Amino acid sequence: MSSKSIELELLIEEGLDDGPGIINTDSSSTILEDDKRSLRRITGRVPRVAFLICLVELAERGSYYSLTGCLTNFIQRPLPVGGNGTGAPSAHSQQNAGALGLGLQWANVLYLMLIFLAYLTPIWGGFLSDSQLGKFKAVWTGTVICGVSHILFILAALPIVLQEHRITGLVLIIIAIVVLALGVGFIKPNLLPLLMDQYPHKNDFIMVLESGEVVIVDRKATLEKMSLIFYWSINVGCFFQFVTVLAEDRYGYWLAFSIPGMMYLLLPIVLIVVGPKLLILPPGGSMFADIVSVLKICYSTGWYRRFKDGTFWEYPSSRWDPQFVDDIKRTIDACKIFSFFVIFNVNDGSLGSIQTNQAGSLTRTTVPNDFFSVLNPLTILIMVPLQDYFLYPFCRKHNWNYTPQLKIFTGFILASIGSIIGAVLQYMVYQTSPCGYKASTCEIGTQVSPISAWWTSPVWILPAVGECFANVTAYELAYSRSPKRMQSLVFALFLASTSLSAVLGEICTIAAKDPYLVWPFAIFGIWGLVSATRFLRKFNNLHLE
């Protein structure tokens, strides 16, 4: 049987989203320009095994965000007076849950340290995956390491530790943060590329549906759909932090940290089930030394002249495989795009401790101050299906090319507006709090501003909508624009932009105290608007490359 016949049978078995019947298909033939303009484009069906990979991501991200959602209060605030001794405040109290009582700056430092390490270690994990381990083995390695970190978090939250051994609790939390970040470094850069590897077609192709309509199956749109499903599964997991936040507020941290540990047990179970079903590509071998050698040649004497006359990348091609040189060029070009995500990420989470603190300075009824972070994944759970089933099909139907650069620009703008709203709200907190410009540590009267904490909702919701446009598009770009031998590494470099955002957040820690809490919101909100405009100008032709 020919390879074309095998492929046809595979497609008939799998079917497509836009119709189950396939009369003819040819993924090897070149699509004519007239066909590209006249034929309707549809997405291919996502392989079934991809949904199991998304379940792995759901369990891993769910356990991660359920932990981090409670971390700020655990570090910042002391054990509540009159509480149950495990971190939970008394019923019907405006007090927030707490444990170590180290203050907002310490909470911000440790929270951002986790983000910094969790998004920097994927560079190492991605490199090892591409060169030695392979994607699936790298995920298993991270799974074991993260399991250890969950045990450490639970030990740090035991009542006897919180009541009698606070220093031990702090040490355990710091070690747990480092171990968790190390494990994430093996999982995070490999799951999405592993998911994308399961799609069998490398190019667009023409097919005829049972209805007789001739259509183009769009590979890029299919990968985008897979990215949306993957991102949606991340935020299903994130939504579980709602449970841990309530557990923290009602029962204490021993339960709040145990729930993510129990959720995490799903991860190794699914990996065992999914392993035999996966298409697993072997690692390509270590390329780091070769990459360094090529870059040395690129930047040898005369590099600036070659850069100006357009021969910068042609120069090393005489001594190295031109395809390998082009792979390096594509990787660096992708990194130029990712660099603009640094400011976006600050507006989309790196101010998380300050945002949580802001909610704690406002009037709440039955919800704790760190509940509002749940609005981020909840928004994404609603937004992703709207994009997948309404917005993007509508654009394709009317031949409106909602280009990658416009999607990213949209995301950048929305996140920036969220921070600007945060700045205005923080100013209003200072104007209405019983303690004025000392609102974060207020102990006078009601201790909080009369403004409802629900006014912080846009600060969480707008960046979440921005993620659906910017991050999902970057996921697809990181995979489709990266060379096969460097996919995990390129995706890790994208994640590293979040690590750099955490560094900026650490610098903001200087201002992360009263009366300066307006400035981090305002500075990064305005900076984000400027950055978004510069991105659109620089990459206005990104869809043509």
Residues 60, 264: Cα–Cα separation, whole Å = 6
Q: Which domain holds residue 379?
A: 21-29+38-274+322-544
Question: Do 439 and 311 reside in the same domain of the chain?
Answer: no
Residues 473, 333: Cα–Cα separation, whole Å = 16
Question: Do 63 and 98 reside in the same domain of the chain?
Answer: yes
Q: Residue for token digits 């009824």?
A: 365
Q: Is 428 helix (H, G, I), strand (E, B) or coil?
A: helix
Q: What is the CATH number of the domain that holds 393?
A: 1.20.1250.20
Helix, strand, coil percentages in the chain from 3-state DSSP, rounded to 5: 70, 5, 20
Question: Do 476 and 413 reside in the same domain of the chain?
Answer: yes
Residue 493 within a domain: yes
Residue 13 within a domain: no
Most confident of 2-11, 392-401, 411-420: 411-420
Residue 364 within a domain: yes
Dig out the tokens for 260 from the structure: 């993510």
Cα dist from 412 to 341, 457, 525, 537, whole Å: 8, 18, 10, 14
Residue 303 within a domain: yes
User: Average model confidence (pLDDT) for the chain?
Assistant: 83
Give the pLDDT score at 352: 64
Identify the band that residue 8 occupies on the pLDDT scale cut at 50, 70 and 90. very low
Question: Do 327 and 312 reside in the same domain of the chain?
Answer: no
Identify the band that residue 545 occupies on the pLDDT scale cut at 50, 70 and 90. low
Question: Do 333 and 297 reside in the same domain of the chain?
Answer: no
Residues 109, 112: Cα–Cα separation, whole Å = 5
Least confident of 10-14, 26-30, 372-376, 464-468: 10-14
Cβ-based burial of 412 (10 A; exposed 0-12, middle 13-18, buried ≥19): buried
Residues 45, 222: Cα–Cα separation, whole Å = 7
Per-residue model confidence as pLDDT tens digits over 46-102: 888 999 999 999 999 889 988 887 888 888 888 887 777 777 787 766 677 888 888
Per-residue model confidence as pLDDT tens digits over 317-351: 778 888 888 888 877 887 888 899 999 999 987 67
Residue 536 within a domain: yes
Range list of H helices, 275-386: 288-298, 303-309, 322-338, 341-345, 352-360, 375-386
Query: Is the per-residue pLDDT at 208 higher than 90?
Result: no
> Which residue has better confidence, 174 or 476?
174
Q: Is the bond preceding residue 458 a cis peptide, omega within 30 degrees?
A: no
Question: Do 311 and 432 reside in the same domain of the chain?
Answer: no
Residue 2 within a domain: no
Query: Is the per-residue pLDDT at 544 higher than 80?
Result: no
How many CA atoms lie within 13 Å of 21's alpha carbon, on the beta-carbon side?
8
Cα dist from 283 to 193, 198, 485, whole Å: 13, 16, 7
CB 179 within 8 A of CB 196: no
Query: Is the per-residue pLDDT at 209 higher than 80?
Result: yes
Nearest to 71 by CA among 184, 176, 183, 188: 176
Query: Is the per-residue pLDDT at 291 higher than 90?
Result: no
Per-residue model confidence as pLDDT tens digits over 99-146: 888 887 788 788 888 988 998 899 889 888 888 889 999 999 999 999
Query: Is the per-residue pLDDT at 4 higher than 80?
Result: no
The β-bridge partners of 207 are 25, 215
Number of structural domains, the chain?
2
- Helix or strand run (H / E) with residue 450: strand 449-452
Dig out the tokens for 490 from the structure: 């390129």
**Average pLDDT of 177-202?**
91
CB 70 within 8 A of CB 257: yes
Question: Do 440 and 512 reside in the same domain of the chain?
Answer: yes
Residue 533 within a domain: yes
The set of residues, in sequence order, having a beta carbon less than 8 Å from that of 336 and lying 6+ positions away, is none
Q: Residue for token digits 């995956």?
A: 129
Residue 12 within a domain: no
